[in-house]
A and B are shown apart, each in its own frame.
Chain A
């Protein structure tokens, strides 16, 4: 091939160009550090590099997200930890407060401290990260406890001023509100929730006490035990009517064969012992005024063993003893085991005194004896030798049990000051306190605050007269009158002698005082409480109720002063069936309802038919016995349909009178109603009383993405519930520590502690329960913290790997690039010098 100059130069030029451009590439790579300068350098590499960059950018973002998540979780954990320690302090305080040795004033101090702790917990509920409240769900702008919450109370009262409904409305800043309607006992009657939907329209929802939604158009109707009615309409208006009058009776009928023994103990007491054929007995002990002091009942338990119970005149069960003395010194003392001491108290003759000395002390022993020469009391007085006037006197009863001590000590002026302590070490103080002790034998030792000892012994009353009637077959109707609140107003006992069909009805008031005794039927005669015959009937006011016995019919009518509803009862028998007719009348004397109970005394089966004022049947209650002798109560309504507990059959007539039958007990209560008086609106907000906000979204979760599509909820959505439970716990604590009527109860306080896996514990409304809840929330947070830590480690690892891969794809290997550049430089230089030589060398140079 022929080679020409121009070929040489163009070859060289192209080579030099190539080598320049190569050097340019190396140089650019070296100066940028990247071997991917444009996509065409390495399309696959560029795609990879882009996706590595994307992933790295993402990971960097996730790293930041993890920091945020950690911030949230750490703050939450710290706050929960603080709440927990605060609750531990509350627990300590409550444990201490539960001890009854604490005076009310001590409990007040504890209350003050707990109030502070509550405030602290509210502050913790408003914990912030930056400007975000962490316990407010998605409403991070809103403090959990806000001052903008409005809480108001309206009380509805009956004619007597008693509260029958308590309506508390808590209105949130956004206009949403929760109204809780409670009855007098604090049971929730209904809840009215007002919320706003996304368009800002108000939506009102009403739920009953069991949180069941009451669907439109029904209104929620709630009737409490006293027959008060609280009605909540769909629009949230509340209509409260109270049972103006109310009556409730219990009637018990049976047949038995009984022996009646009447024993007189002098003028002190009369004992009436009714012994039934089956060995059960009722012993009534009456004082000289015929008032029942005690009733000793001997019944049989399931196994046939006798069981003794003692009740006082008002029917309350006695656990210790009853001691009654009359103006004549007559004493009746009945113990819970049924033993009794009846007699007359006599002052003890002067004591016999012996004095001994042991060199330091002189001991004077006074021994008091009764008329039989038995020791009733011993009084030991120890005084030092020489006698400076100080002494210690120990008083013991006949059994040697400590009654009290009297000490004489010198005050700063040298005067002797006497102090009396009872057996428990409690101080007996002037002016009125008298220490009185009974030794169980009816002897009484009195020590007044001045240290004077007065000993009386019981001269056991002699049985002056004891008559035992022959056993006779009787049918008994025990009838109890109750007022609207369920309190006993009167009792009636009708004993029908099966032999001659005569009956005796004994009416007593709620305290057991005899009101009247009616015998009949032919003629009907009524005697009053003093057993004196009366011709105009008996009417007695007792404890706010008027108990009236009609002299002609023998019907007893009880009218509660408060309720003005009268209930009358008459019981008759035809030998096989006892018919008890109860008539309920309002204050105007109109009949509201009539109840007719027919009982077969032999089988115990009964049927009670209740009719309204027009004579229509309202309900029928049938009581039958199963094979084991237990009562089976069946209540049917006017149509004959069964009514099952816990529903109550409630019938209202046109005049607003209610007849309510409870299938659980078979009892019927009758009441008339009138609208309750709506009290003024009372604001419950006080200056620093931050209330729990319950805005929409406060239960929402706050999520942070910690990895591709992995979202971690960083807030505590249970916070609302937890703090509302805390509120409940604190309000319970405050109520218990404030007590009722200034009196606190150690038992009530210790109930707050919980820890017995009770329902309240499980509802997290005890101190133990709420601590469990806090721990639960805390452990969730802890688990999340672990997760975040793990993810953080994972991200770090991934970052390393990704960076390495990115570097592999994108970064220049400097050694290689520099080597290449240097090599290329050498080649370039060589090409230049060789080219220069070749091009220079032409024949021209050699032709001269």
Chain B
């Protein structure tokens, strides 16, 4: 038995092809050296089976002759474990960098220490009272008191306004982030489905994986997640990663599916039974507030209670018409509604299968094809309109949002036998309480923490919310105790004989249409009473008709150091100092944590790069390596060509 004359050619052809594939992959790597999320790829070269193969008719030749090389597969060089670490680090960084931003904004609002913050306003305010005590009847001193007091009140107002602005912005950002998360989840689901279509054919869609990994990296900045590989079935190779189910990891360790697929069956692969799954579906996140309602973009503060998850799917069902009676079925074919049309009035009565049945009526609007659906209580629940030409009926809720479309089904002779009902069904798949989201993980948690959320005991918490409450408390205690003192004093009599004005409040509340009977002062509603615009009403004296008596002004200015029971026995200014210190401490912590998270993130990112990113030097080296191998294979081909030439043209010509 002899070896094929042309076997060498084939062996070398394989070599050329394999080296060429490798060289092209190097090119692909170099091209994507700067592509975000790109993972370098390798061609896994494998020697082909030797000659002869096994079998009864296998020729017996000495040795087992090599037949060359083949590129078995092209895979990504990646370490899943590092990915996991990376995502955790991203998670932390996401939380702390967002918190740093929020507190930094808070610090900007407080602008302490400075010559124009609330502290300085309080200092100025108290000083102006001292000045008034020095010259109690001076209109100039009274003017200064009024101005400084107005400045103080507007400092409170300003801080409140700024803080609620920041709070509103945080809510917008949180809502945008949720949109972003939903978009990412949608993209992941799409990629999963693409991958699922490719993999059963034996392909490994590396670039789809990369795209998906980038999305998951991004997602991990927002929420703490975990992933799970799902076998694609078919001829999917071992290197195929399959679809990825994505889960939100809750604080109690349980998971909430974000991207998932339903199991559809099993397949035996390499002797193992594997589950097969259907289409990957992304859930839609909604930030929910008290009562489960969605957080909206209105400016009113709504504490975040958690996240709710829902999937939407488009379902087609059919109904059958039998005379005036139409039976509607669900997607499994079970009857859902029975509609009976009164031919005289055109009114349709819908009865469901519940016990007792719920009844709806649809009333036609005369002269049109429009119908109005009302429930048993007479409330309008939906409206429908039918296109006269196509017969397409669109049902919408009272707000005009489409609920379903009904298109007629006709038999061969053109009679309408039923309707195809196309409906988008939203299924709530779960809710996660905000307290069940891991602490200090991810952007979204940070938004809730800074914006305001409902804690496990049902109390509203949150950094900004607390600070605003503290500021309100400060404003209330300060203004209330100031007013109490001020009431006991006497202003300036208009002529020195008429009784001095007394018993007046110095601070007043700005009328708020939302709470016209506000009992307490808040940072938002604090203002200097309009009565004080008549400076004579500013009380500086402890006795009637004593224009030179500034003792009350002194007492008022000494409120600076007086401990207020409502503020935990500290003075207003100390309370504010403590507030600033608390913000500072929180800020300091956040900055440090963010820095640490950043450093850890970088280290892990470097680790990942070390494994997955493209090194040009390496690729160059590989290029030279593959190029030389290619050259060598080509030279080998020439050598074989020469031997063949010898056989064909040089053999048997001895003597010729």
Give the distance to chain B from A125, nearest Cβ to Cβ, in Å.
Answer: 15
Most B CB contacts (10 A, CB to CB) among A3, A6, A62, A65 go to A6
Give the distance to chain B from A54, nearest Cβ to Cβ, in Å.
Answer: 6
Give the distance to chain A from B448, nearest Cβ to Cβ, in Å.
Answer: 21
Residues of B within 8 A of A49 (CB): 113
Give the distance to chain A from B82, nearest Cβ to Cβ, in Å.
Answer: 12
Give the distance to chain A from B253, nearest Cβ to Cβ, in Å.
Answer: 33
**Per-position contact with B for A53-71: 1 when CB-CB < 8 Å, else 0?**
1100110111011001000
Residues of B within 8 A of A136 (CB): 548
Residue of A nearest to B127 (CB): A61
Residues of A within 8 A of B376 (CB): none
Task: Say whether A700 faces chain B, with CB atoms less than 8 Å apart.
Answer: yes
Q: Are A53 and B123 in contact (CB under 8 A)?
A: yes
Residues of B within 8 A of A4 (CB): 609-610, 613-615, 618
Q: Are B581 and A843 in contact (CB under 8 A)?
A: no
Task: Say whether A426 faces chain B, with CB atoms less than 8 Å apart.
Answer: no
Residues of A within 8 A of B610 (CB): 1-4, 7
Residues of B within 8 A of A695 (CB): 545
Tell whether A38 pairs with B615 under 8 Å between CB atoms, given A10-B609, A44-B581: no
Size class of A's contact patch? 35 or more
Residue of A nearest to B110 (CB): A39
Task: Say whether A598 faces chain B, with CB atoms less than 8 Å apart.
Answer: no
Q: How far is the CA of A38 from the CA of B100 in the complex (A)?
A: 12
Residue of A nearest to B606 (CB): A7
Q: Are B549 and A138 in contact (CB under 8 A)?
A: yes
Q: Is the interface of B mostly helix, strand, loop or mixed?
A: helix
Residue of B nearest to A52 (CB): B113
Most B CB contacts (10 A, CB to CB) among A51, A703, A708, A810 go to A703
Interface size on B, residues (CB 8 A): 74
Q: Are A705 and B558 in contact (CB under 8 A)?
A: yes
Tell whether A810 pairs with B547 under 8 Å between CB atoms, given A61-B131, A843-B616: no
Q: Are B551 and A703 in contact (CB under 8 A)?
A: yes
Give the distance to chain A from B479, nearest Cβ to Cβ, in Å.
Answer: 19
Task: Say whether B275 faces chain A, with CB atoms less than 8 Å apart.
Answer: no
Q: How far is the CA of A106 from the CA of B602 in the complex (A)?
A: 110
Q: Are A40 and B591 in contact (CB under 8 A)?
A: yes
**Per-position contact with A for B559-603: 1 when CB-CB < 8 Å, else 0?**
011000000000001100110111111111011000000100010
* Interchain CB contact (< 8 A) of A39 among B126, B127, B545, B583: B583
Q: How far is the CA of A590 from the CA of B611 in the complex (A)?
A: 144
Give the distance to chain A from B86, nearest Cβ to Cβ, in Å.
Answer: 13
Residues of A within 8 A of B541 (CB): 138
Residues of A within 8 A of B587 (CB): 38-40, 43
Task: Say whether A702 faces chain B, with CB atoms less than 8 Å apart.
Answer: yes
Task: Say whether A50 faces chain B, with CB atoms less than 8 Å apart.
Answer: yes
Task: Say whether B621 faces chain A, with CB atoms less than 8 Å apart.
Answer: yes
Residues of A within 8 A of B74 (CB): none
Residues of B within 8 A of A615 (CB): none
Q: How far is the CA of A407 from the CA of B104 in the complex (A)?
A: 117
Contact residues of B between 102 and 145, Cβ < 8 Å to A: 103-104, 107-108, 110, 112-113, 119-120, 122-124, 126-127, 130-131, 133-137
Q: Are B134 and A46 in contact (CB under 8 A)?
A: no
Residues of B within 8 A of A416 (CB): none
Q: Are B577 and A50 in contact (CB under 8 A)?
A: yes
* Interchain CB contact (< 8 A) of A139 among B546, B554, B588, B616: B546
**Per-position contact with A for B526-564: 1 when CB-CB < 8 Å, else 0?**
000000000000000101111111110010011011000
Task: Say whether A523 faces chain B, with CB atoms less than 8 Å apart.
Answer: no
Task: Say whether A140 faces chain B, with CB atoms less than 8 Å apart.
Answer: yes
Task: Say whether B496 faces chain A, with CB atoms less than 8 Å apart.
Answer: yes
Residues of B within 8 A of A810 (CB): 113
Q: Are A10 and B499 in contact (CB under 8 A)?
A: no
Q: How far is the CA of A453 from the CA of B136 in the complex (A)?
A: 83
Contact residues of A between 121 and 144, Cβ < 8 Å to B: 130-133, 136-142
Task: Say whether B620 faces chain A, with CB atoms less than 8 Å apart.
Answer: yes
Give the distance to chain A from B603, nearest Cβ to Cβ, in Å.
Answer: 10
Q: How far is the CA of A141 from the CA of B110 in the complex (A)?
A: 43
Q: Are A141 and B131 in contact (CB under 8 A)?
A: no
Residue of B nearest to A132 (CB): B548
Tell whether A138 pairs with B620 under 8 Å between CB atoms, given A3-B615, A199-B499: no
Give the distance to chain B from A408, nearest Cβ to Cβ, in Å.
Answer: 75
* Interchain CB contact (< 8 A) of B130 among A7, A65, A700: A65
Q: Are A198 and B499 in contact (CB under 8 A)?
A: yes
Give the distance to chain A from B627, nearest Cβ to Cβ, in Å.
Answer: 10
Task: Say whether A539 faces chain B, with CB atoms less than 8 Å apart.
Answer: no
Q: Are B548 and A141 in contact (CB under 8 A)?
A: yes
Contact residues of B between 608 and 655, Cβ < 8 Å to A: 609-611, 613-618, 620-621, 624
Q: Are A14 and B497 in contact (CB under 8 A)?
A: no
* Interchain CB contact (< 8 A) of B554 among A34, A57, A703: A703
Tell whether A696 pairs with B131 under 8 Å between CB atoms, given A36-B113, A46-B112, A844-B620: no
Residue of A nearest to B617 (CB): A843
Task: Say whether B605 faces chain A, with CB atoms less than 8 Å apart.
Answer: yes
Residues of B within 8 A of A10 (CB): 602, 605-606, 609
* Interchain CB contact (< 8 A) of B134 among A68, A173, A174: A68
Residue of B nearest to A60 (CB): B127
Task: Say whether A78 faces chain B, with CB atoms less than 8 Å apart.
Answer: no
Q: Are B543 and A843 in contact (CB under 8 A)?
A: no
Q: How far is the CA of A534 from the CA of B596 in the complex (A)?
A: 143
Q: Jot down 18 A-B pairs with beta carbons below 8 A, ordered by A.
A: A2-B610, A2-B615, A38-B587, A39-B110, A40-B587, A47-B581, A50-B113, A54-B573, A58-B126, A64-B134, A65-B130, A131-B137, A138-B543, A138-B547, A139-B496, A198-B544, A703-B551, A843-B621
Further contacts, 6 of them, CB under 8 A, given A43-B581, A140-B136, A140-B547: A40-B587, A43-B588, A44-B581, A46-B112, A697-B543, A700-B546
Q: List the 6 shortest-distance A-B pairs measured between CB atoms, nearest first.
A: A40-B587, A39-B584, A43-B584, A140-B548, A138-B546, A138-B549
